[in-house]
Structure formats: structure tokens, C-alpha cells
Amino acid sequence: MKNNTAVPVLFFAGIIISSVILSPFILDFTLVPRFTALSVFFAAICFICYKTDMKLKLQLDPLLLFYTGYVAFCGLSVLWAQNLSESIFENCKLVLSLLTFLLTYFCLKQQQTLFLERILKFSIVLFLIVFTVGVYQFMGIRYSDKNAMYAVTGINGHKNLFSSFLFLNLFFLINAFLKLKKLWKLFSMMCIVLSVLAILFLKTKAVWIGITVAFATCCILYFYTLISKKRTIRINSYLLVVVFVVLANAFFIKLLPSIIHRAINYNKEVVENTKSKKDQIELDNERLVIWDKTYTIFNKNSLIGVGVGSWQIVYPDATLTGLWRCEDLNVTFQRPHNDFLWILSETGIIGFNLFLFFGIGTVLFLFKAARLTSANKPVNQEIILCAAFILGFFSISFFDFPRERMEHLVWIHIILGIAYYHIKHYTGLKALKEIPLDKTHSLSAAIVLLFMVSVGILRYKGEFYVREMYGFKNANLNLNVLSACKSAESFAYTIDPTSLPITWYSGNANASLGNYKKAESDFKTAYDLNPYNRNVVNDLASSYAFTKNTALAKKYYEETARISPRFDDPKLNLAVLSIQEKDYKTADKWLKSLYHDSERRTNYQRIVDMNLQK
């Protein structure tokens, strides 16, 4: 195979496999298998470039500079991230995203027509696969269950992610209808109709907003190109990018927090005045509360953020007040349901603005490219679609979390790569520096990607053994729990999908076996990995109580009560410690602060009342 065709073929194969592969033997069927598969194919591409000494030139223009700067800054954030394993994994996903973007551009430069034709035809096949799976899942749901639709996930792991993936795929289906011929055009038209119907049926409001924004953008750009034919419009694109970035900063850093506060206060008033609707209104308020807490952690680390991969760990530091499902049902959140706030909180103002300059710059240069290609209808249509679906995806990202999933990252970066190709080709985007890529660069990239493959394998192994460990834990097989924890843990995998460290499980198993010193050591390690999880902090306090270190036990019980005010366990334990010290007034204070009635509370209150009456 010639080196000029090997890279596009391997890249295309990587796109196919990373879009459909899954494993039923781990906790998350899709994320790690797709991450690992794409890493393998990209490592193979770099190895071929090294062996054949492929000569490439990378033109570092402003758009690419900002995006590579963003990825590099995210990589640097491992130095201050709370959990190293999660930061490594998230950064590896970003590297794969950047490589997808660059490889799309290089493949289009080498063989634009063939590469696009392959992608468009595969998008039709891919839609038929995911649609068939979705229909099969729908046929098996129980219609009496109001949450039954959440079982319709396609091959994406979540209903909302399924819907947003259909949105991304729609870009390629529309392009297929415009570019392909005969049966492929007919198939693409059929898939477009089915895709829109499926998106409407799944009722994911964020995706409905995304489609609306995409449609509106198409209309605006169409009329913009018509006007530009009759009248020359001269705008400094670089100045315009700066203006929009400043406006975006003003919105996200100044305006949005106040909007969130007002909305939360309004909902609070409505809840107080309409008790019959309380549960539904509180549930609708949850997203706003999460956003508000995201700003709390951002304000503590506004310049550089808390580090990539750290949001899921750090947000409880803003307390779980207002998140009744977290406090009463032990639900955890892995992302803030707003990718922009996710980036802002984890990378601070520096990383957020690097991302904004790339994202806003790409969209505005697409507008310029649309104006300059108004006479070339096929190219103009593709540029308009790129701008529409990028803005639509950004709109979805404002209310959801597509940035989390590998297949979403791959396909949006293919769209971004296509957009970048047109921007480079038609707008005359100036290169700041030309960087020749030689065998050294290819070998270095191959080594990094092999490391990423090892991260994927270790995370797969971790999820496999944690899945087994859950079963052992439920059966009270503590020795098996310890064995599974040992097999699961590695530098690349230290916490489970609920943000609980693996050592927390081994600590509880050791405590059940009476190994209190070993349990204390495990809980200390768990605390280092996640110092804001209420279960971790509470059990660390209990381990100190078992070893008679009362001062530290109190310290960590009080910290648990701060993080989760509705969590009664630490308050009950503080009451017990106060009773042991004959400090009945303090014990009474803790007992009266409890949110739930229990037999323990009644018994302790009886003891306290008897002693206070003496």
C-alpha cells in the first residue's frame, strides 16, 4: 500500500471502528472501547509515517495556534488537577480530537473527492445501524414507565447522546443528498427524514435547539451570500473575532451567573407558592443549581481552573445544597450539563479563551468563506452546512454534554476539519509559521499514542474488575472485593464512574474484615483522590473514630456535614462522640440539625434529654 493512500484508509477505518465498537463486559459499553480503538489506528498511522518517512508540512495559522494552545494548556493542567488518572484520560481524548481534526484536513488535501465520498456513504450506513438499534430498543420499553424513553440509547449509552449523535450525522446525510448520485441520493433522503423524525421523537430539547440554530444559520448565511453578490462587504475578520470573544467573556463570566441566580430565586419562590408542583419544579431547577456551583468552583480558580478531569470531583466543595437527589438518593454528577462551563471551570480564563478564539474564529471565517464562494454553489453549500452544524453543536453543548463521548468528538472534529480545509483554501488565512514534520515527529507521536493505547487498556481492565467488584460487594464477599480492587487499580484508573475511589471500596472491605489500620490507610488514599465525596470523607472520619483519633474524626465528620447538609450519618456520629465526651449540649445541637427521623436519632435524643434534665 502506498504511503499516500495508507493514511486516509487507516483514518477512515479508525472512524468506522471507533463509531460502532462496544463491549458488554465493562461498566460503560462504549467510551473506553472507542477511545482505545481510535488510539490504535492513530498509532498505526504515525508508525507508517515514520517507516515511510512521509514528508508533511504543518502551517501554523491563528486558528490552529489557538486550538493546539488549548490542547497544550489542558495537558499542562495535569500539574494541578485533583485526580491524575482522570486528567490523563480526558487529555488523551483531547489529543485524539486534535489528531482527528488534522487528519481530516490532510486527507482532504490529498484526496478530497474520494475521502468525502467514503465518509458520506459510511454516514448512511452508520445511520441505518444506529436507527435499527434504536427501534429495537424502543420495541422493548414499557410504555407505563415515564422514564422508559431513556432506554432508547442507540449505540451511544444515553438517550440525549443518541439524539445529539443523530444531529451530527445529519450534517453528513444532507451532504450525501447534495453530492452523491442515484441510489445513494435516495437512501440519504430517506435517512434524513427518519433522522429528523427520530430526533423529534426522542424529545431532547437541547438537540431541538441545535436544529433550530442550524436551520436559522443556513437561512442567515444564504441571504448573506446573496447580499454580498450585490454589495461588497469589507470587515476585518481578526478584529471581529476579538470583538465576539470579548462579548462571549462578558456573557459567560458576568451576565450568565446573574441570570442563573435570578432563575434559581424565581424557581424557589414558585416552589414555595405551589407546593403541589414542588417535586417537578425542584427537578427542573437542578441544572441551574449545578451551573451555579460550577461558577463557585470557577471563582476559586478563575485564571487556570481546577484542572482537566477535575469537575466531577471538585464540584461538591460548593456543597450539595439544592441537589436533593445527591443528598437523599446518593446520585452523583459527572459533568455540569454545559460543555462551555465545563471548560471554563477546568481550564479557567486562559483555557476558555484559547477555546473561544478557535471556535468563534472558525465560525466567523466560515462566514467569510461563504461570502467568497457565493458563485461556487456546491462548495458554498458545504461551507454553509459546516457553519450551521458547528453552531448547532455549540448550542447543544450549552445544555448537554456531547464533549464527554468519543464518537461525538470524532464526528464534530471531522466537520471542523472540513470547515478548516475550506477556510484555508478560500479565505487566504495566513500561516504564522511553517513546520516541517519528519520521522522524529512521527516517532514521537507514535510513542504518545502507544501510551494512550495503554491508558485505554488499563481503563478497560479497571472497569472490568470494578464491575465484578460490585457483585462481590453486594454479596458481602469482602476478600473477593479486595482482590478485584487490586486488579482494577492502576495509574490510569483510580475512581469508578460515580467518582468513588477504588480504595474506598477496599477500605470498606477491610473495615468489615476488622482490618482497621489497613482500612484507615485505604480511606486516606481515597481522600487524596477525591476529598469532596461525602462517603469518602465520612468513612475516613469513621476510621479515625475506630482508632480513637477523636480530633481528626470530628474534623472530617464536620467536613462531611458541610459538603452534604442533608446527610445525617456524620451528624449522628458527631452526636455519639459528644455523648461519649459527656458534652450533651453539643450532641443535642447535632441531633436537632438532622433532616430525617431514624431509630438511632430517637435513641440518642432520649439519652441526651435525660442527661440535660439532670
Residue 148: partners with Cβ closer than 8 Å, 6 or more residues away: 141, 142
Closest to 90 (Cα-Cα) out of 420, 304, 312, 396: 312
pLDDT tens for each residue of 91-119: 999 999 999 999 999 999 988 889 999 99
Residue in the structure block whose three cell numbers are 437542578: 286
pLDDT confidence bin for 145, thresholds 50/70/90 = low
595 class by beta-carbon count within 10 Å (0-12 exposed, 13-18 middle, 19+ buried): exposed
What's residue 223's pLDDT? 87
What's residue 58's pLDDT? 87
pLDDT tens for each residue of 584-606: 999 999 999 999 898 889 999 99
Residue in the structure block whose three cell numbers are 482537566: 308
In three-state secondary structure terms, 197 is helix
> What mean pLDDT is predicted for residues 469-478?
96
pTM of the model: 0.94
How far is Cα 519 from Cα 506, in angstroms, rounded to an integer? Answer: 7
Residue 93: partners with Cβ closer than 8 Å, 6 or more residues away: 35, 406, 409
**Would you report the helix, strand and coil content of the chain in percent, each value rounded to 5?**
80, 0, 20
pLDDT confidence bin for 367, thresholds 50/70/90 = very high
**Residue bearing the bigger pLDDT, 121 or 401:** 121
Is 234 a residue whose pLDDT tops 80? no
Q: Which residues pair with 493 in a beta bridge?
A: 490
Q: How far is CA 380 from each of CA 361, 422, 545, rounded to the nearest angstrom?
A: 18, 10, 70
What's residue 498's pLDDT? 92
Residue 548: partners with Cβ closer than 8 Å, 6 or more residues away: none
> What mean pLDDT is predicted for residues 456-466?
98
User: Mean of the per-residue pLDDT values for the chain?
Assistant: 92
What's residue 276's pLDDT? 53
pLDDT tens for each residue of 313-339: 999 999 999 998 899 888 889 999 999
Kindly state the percentage of the chain with pLDDT values over 90.
78
What's residue 283's pLDDT? 46
What's residue 180's pLDDT? 94
Residue in the structure block whose three cell numbers are 455540569: 336
- The sign of the CA dihedral 200, 203, 205, 206 is negative
How far is Cα 316 from Cα 302, in angstroms, rounded to an integer? Answer: 17
pLDDT confidence bin for 467, thresholds 50/70/90 = very high
pLDDT tens for each residue of 44-80: 999 999 988 887 888 899 999 999 999 999 999 999 9
